[in-house]
């Protein structure tokens, strides 16, 4: 995935988005776009009269296309609720859930077994988001800059996610030992927490939509499609902020959901210990792999500023609800399942898949490290013992300024254009395999990450093609494979 950089120093432009989701929702997740108004993001080809449009699609979408694109706005919450019901009441079997729906009707099943919105759950989520907001705003940290926006803004961010993660988990442990908090609080109150997280995601999304019209942070970086549904879903503002310091997108993407990810795993370990007297190796290994990924995310939080989530996606329901609800409820299915239905495959099987996960992480991390080396050196470095090979590219922002990018095409980035995604997928599938079950619900995370990263890959490459033109075509000739060399 290509990222934009200033002229000095020239960084590597083949950036991936870790995801984390996604990645985040990516780990995901994971998760990577023409307007005739002044709010559009467009550049002008320096060699022809052709207008280059890059960023999220603006005007020109049909109402049907907009409606279809925004359909996850109501389908995703229904899917999240269905997964919860399947796990909690139908032994993790979609077949049993489907039979119940056929007999009783979908809404009857949801009313009977769906998440319950309670004051306890609301208080817990409000306290959680409030704590993370305070840590985000007031913890010290280094200041880093992101990328130039299509309108030419260069924003700074304070990076303190690792400190926030450590403080949060230390507080959870101290409160548990002091008897103030049940360490298994999360799975014991999961129904009410999911209800409150859904509500929080819709509230933040609605606030972001209204703010984009009434008090936008950077009006010239907004995007309007002409469809209210699509704008609510994909977002209008690129970098909405409260004041100068509180960046809503970085906070939503990198704090409540990501920090909760490992906490949910650990709480399910506590629940399993309380209910059966020991913790299964499968849950321990799943938690280790996911902890490695989350800590890596926070150690390299400044890198995240250059991913598609922060640099290109606008802030709407897709990111807000996704990070407040979808990520913590869906990326943790492995821990939820093992907490409810303890079990472990053979030690040989578990160790084998654990090693596959470590290999996936090694590819993911080493690929991103190569980009960092090229970025810091302006391309004057060695990759795999040879001088880094790059394509020099340029683009123009709306303010008329020309910026330079390096499209890295050696090392992992000569192997494929999204090598980090390949490592991410290996890690995703290994965490699902560690559960040791063939039930579809266990593999939802891996299936989602596959769809997310393929879709992100296509979106990012379309944006890069529009943005860099012939220079992107040259890059694709040098690196013809997207994910896995020789396959796709």
Q: Which pLDDT does position 405 carry in this prediction?
A: 78
Q: Does 6 have pLDDT greater than 50?
A: no
Instruction: Using pLDDT thresholds of 50, 70 and 90, give the confidence band for residue 69.
Output: low
Q: Most confidently modeled of 38-52, 322-336, 385-399?
A: 322-336
Token reading at 214: 């009434």
Q: How far apart are CA 313 and CA 315, in angstroms?
A: 7
Mean pLDDT across 197-210:
94
DSSP letter, residue 219 = G
Is the per-residue pLDDT at 254 higher than 90? Answer: no
**CA trace torsion 115, 116, 122, 123 (10° rounding):** -120
Q: Is the pLDDT of residue 343 over 90?
A: no
More confident residue, 382 or 239: 239
Instruction: Report pLDDT digits (tens) over 258-282.
Output: 999 999 999 999 999 999 999 999 9
Confidence of residue 159 (pLDDT cuts 50, 70, 90): very high
CA distance 486 to 95: 37
Least trusted range by pLDDT, from 56-65, 83-92, 307-316: 56-65
pLDDT of residue 175: 95
Q: What is the pLDDT of residue 20?
A: 36
Q: How confident is the model over 108-127, as pLDDT tens digits?
A: 999 999 998 999 999 999 99
Q: pLDDT class for 39, splitting at 50, 70, 90?
A: very low
Can you give the pLDDT at residue 47?
Answer: 39
Is residue 389 within 8 A of residue 409, CB to CB? The reply is yes
**Across the strands, what pairs with 241?**
247
Residue 161 has pLDDT above 80, yes or no: yes
Q: Which of the pair, 149 or 199, is modelled with greater confidence?
A: 199
Res 70 pLDDT > 80? no
pLDDT-derived band of residue 65, with 50, 70 and 90 as boundaries? low
**For residue 107, what is the DSSP state?**
H
Check pLDDT > 80 for residue 103. Answer: yes
DSSP E strands: which ranges in 150-283?
Answer: 154-159, 241-242, 246-247
Preceding amide of 82 cis, omega within 30: no
pLDDT band, very low/low/confident/very high, at 38 (cuts 50, 70, 90): very low
Q: What is the mean pLDDT of the chain?
A: 83
Q: Does residue 27 have a pLDDT over 60? A: no
Does the global pTM surpass 0.85? Answer: no
Structure token digits, residue 377: 């050196």
Contact 271, 188 (CB under 8 A): yes
pLDDT surpasses 50 at 53: no
Share of the chain above pLDDT 70, in %: 85
Query: To 10 degrees, the CA torsion angle through 52, 56, 61, 64?
Result: 150
Which single residue is written with the structure tokens 């991410």? 424
Does pLDDT of 375 surpass 70?
A: yes
Average of per-residue pLDDT across 438-466: 87
With cut-offs at 50, 70 and 90, classify the pLDDT of residue 452. Answer: confident
CA distances from 460 to 69, 158, 235, 308, 418 (A): 17, 26, 17, 8, 10
Burial 189-221 (b: 16+ CB within 10 A, else e): bbbbbbbbbbbbbbebbeebbebbeeebbbebb
Cβ-proximal residues to 249 (8 Å cutoff; 6+ apart), any chain? 239, 240, 309, 310, 315, 319
pLDDT tier at 7, thresholds 50, 70, 90: very low
Q: How distant, in Å, are the alpha carbons of 11, 52, 388, 408, 410 from that of 381?
A: 11, 32, 6, 12, 11
Q: Cα separation of 222 and 243, whole Å?
A: 17
Q: What average pLDDT score do residues 231-250 get?
A: 91
Residue 16 above 70 pLDDT?
no
Which single residue is written with the structure tokens 């780990």? 27
d(CA 172, CA 91): 29
| Residue 164 confidence (pLDDT) | 96
Beta bridge partners of 278: none
Tell me the pLDDT band of 186, cut-offs 50, 70 and 90: very high
What's the angle, vertex CA 211, arms to CA 260 and CA 241, rounded to 5? 55
Q: What is the pLDDT of residue 3?
A: 38
pLDDT of residue 18: 35
pLDDT of 60 reads: 57
Phi-psi region of 274 (alpha: psi -120 to 50; beta: other; left: phi over 0): alpha
Q: What is the pLDDT of residue 67?
A: 66
């Amino acid at each position: 995935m290509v990222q934009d950089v200033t002229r000095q120093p020239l960084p590597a432009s083949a950036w991936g988005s870790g995801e984390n989701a996604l990645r985040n929702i990516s780990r995901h997740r994971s998760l990577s776009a023409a307007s005739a108004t002044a709010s559009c993001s467009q550049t002008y080809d320096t060699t022809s009269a052709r207008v280059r449009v890059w960023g999220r699609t603006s005007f020109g979408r049909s109402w049907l296309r907009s409606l279809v694109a925004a359909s996850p706005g109501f389908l995703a919450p229904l899917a999240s609720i269905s997964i919860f019901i399947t796990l909690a009441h139908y032994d993790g079997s979609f077949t049993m859930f489907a039979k119940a729906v056929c007999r009783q009707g979908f809404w009857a099943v949801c009313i009977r077994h769906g998440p319950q919105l309670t004051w306890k759950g609301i208080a817990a989520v409000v306290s959680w988001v409030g704590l993370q907001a305070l840590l985000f705003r007031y913890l010290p940290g280094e200041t880093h800059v992101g990328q130039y926006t299509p309108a030419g803004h260069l924003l700074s961010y304070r990076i303190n996610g690792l400190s926030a993660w450590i403080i949060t988990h230390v507080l959870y442990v101290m409160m548990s030992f002091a008897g103030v908090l049940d360490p298994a609080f999360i799975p014991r109150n999961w129904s009410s927490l999911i209800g409150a997280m859904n509500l929080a995601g819709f509230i933040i999304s609605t606030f972001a939509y209204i703010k984009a019209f009434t008090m936008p942070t950077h009006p010239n970086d907004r995007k309007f499609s002409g469809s209210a549904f699509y704008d609510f879903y994909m977002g209008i503002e690129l970098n909405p902020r409260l004041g100068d310091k509180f960046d809503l997108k970085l906070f939503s993407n990198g704090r409540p959901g990501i920090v909760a990810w490992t906490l949910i795993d650990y709480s399910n370990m506590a629940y399993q210990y309380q209910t059966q007297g020991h913790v299964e190796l499968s849950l321990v290994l799943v938690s280790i792999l996911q902890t490695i990924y989350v800590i890596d995310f926070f150690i390299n939080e400044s890198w995240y500023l250059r991913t598609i989530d922060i640099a290109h996606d606008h802030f709407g329901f897709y990111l807000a609800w996704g990070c407040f609800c979808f990520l913590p409820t869906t990326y943790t299915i492995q821990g939820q399942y093992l907490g409810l239905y303890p079990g472990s495959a053979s030690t040989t099987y578990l160790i084998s898949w654990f090693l596959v996960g470590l290999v996936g992480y090694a590819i993911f991390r080493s690929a991103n490290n190569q980009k960092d080396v090229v970025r810091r050196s302006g391309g004057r470095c060695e990759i795999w013992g040879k001088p880094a090979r790059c394509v020099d590219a340029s683009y123009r922002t709306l303010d008329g300024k020309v910026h330079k990018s390096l499209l890295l095409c050696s090392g992992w980035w000569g192997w494929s254009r999204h090598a980090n995604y390949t490592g991410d997928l290996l890690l995703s599938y290994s965490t699902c395999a560690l559960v040791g079950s063939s039930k579809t619900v266990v593999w939802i995370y891996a299936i989602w990450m596959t769809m997310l990263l393929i879709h992100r890959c296509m979106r990012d490459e379309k944006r890069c093609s529009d943005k860099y033109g012939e220079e992107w075509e040259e890059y694709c000739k040098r690196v013809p494979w997207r994910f896995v060399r020789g396959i796709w």
